[in-house]
Structure formats: C-alpha cells, structure tokens
C-alpha cells in the first residue's frame, strides 16, 4: 500500500509540473505579440491610459509621464518638451474630446518640435 501511495503522489506531481510548463509556454508565446505594436498605437494607448496624470504634470511642467511621452514621441530633450507643454497648456488641453487629441495638438505646436 505504501508503494502505491508514493507512486500516485509522484504521478500527481509529474502532472502538475507538466501543467505549469504549459501555462508558462502559453504566457510567453502570447506576451510577445505586445512587442510588435507600432509606435503610434503605443503613444495613443499611453495617452489614453495616462491622460489625467499627463494633464496634471503638464500643468506643473514636469513629471515621469511627460518624460515617457517625450520619449515615445521621439523628443530629444524631455525637460524642454515638458516646459513647452506647460507654456502651451491651454492650446493643447483646451477643447479636448478624446485623450488622443492632445497628440495632434502637440505635433501642431512648433515650439514643441524643439523638445
């Protein structure tokens, strides 16, 4: 009886270990699809998800979300970018219907091209 219990326990462990490997394989194979997103989709998604924080930091002229946005938009100097966003706050954040509207407004501001 003792040998049967050990055999069943080992069998159960083997099944559980195989199931864990299967989960890891599925997770790693699906996560790679996120990396293939185009930069425009990434910027739009970032702005949509972080709009409130971006707006608050824009009013202050600094912040980690503005730094990330500058990087995503290919701006060389995130500090200059953030200050220009602050200076042009009303032009960028006024009359916004969707969060991603600010992307076009940022790109339209010639001062922001310097950032």
C-alpha angle 22/24/26, rounded to 5°? 70
Give me the sign of the Cα torsion angle 71, 72, 76, 82: negative
- What span, in angstroms and rounded, lies between the C-alpha atoms of 86 and 84? 5
Which residues make Cβ contacts (< 8 Å) with residue 37, sequence separation at least 6?
A: 45
Full pLDDT tens readout for the chain, 115 residues: 566 655 555 565 555 555 544 444 444 444 333 444 566 668 999 999 999 999 999 999 999 999 999 999 999 999 999 999 999 999 999 999 999 999 999 988 866 655 6
Domain extents for the chain? Answer: 2-35, 37-114
Which residues make Cβ contacts (< 8 Å) with residue 63, sequence separation at least 6?
A: 53, 54, 56, 57, 82
pTM over 0.75: no
């Amino acid at each position: 009886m003792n040998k049967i219990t050990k055999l069943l326990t080992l069998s159960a462990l083997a099944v559980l270990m195989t199931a864990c490997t299967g989960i890891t394989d599925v997770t790693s194979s699906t996560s790679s699809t996120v990396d293939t997103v185009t930069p425009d989709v990434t910027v739009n998604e970032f702005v949509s998800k972080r709009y409130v924080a971006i707006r608050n930091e824009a009013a202050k002229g600094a912040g980690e979300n503005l730094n990330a946005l500058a990087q995503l938009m290919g701006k060389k100097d995130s500090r200059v970018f953030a200050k220009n966003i602050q200076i042009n706050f009303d032009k960028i954040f006024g009359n916004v219907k969707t969060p991603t509207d600010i992307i076009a407004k940022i790109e339209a501001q010639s001062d922001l091209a310097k950032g």
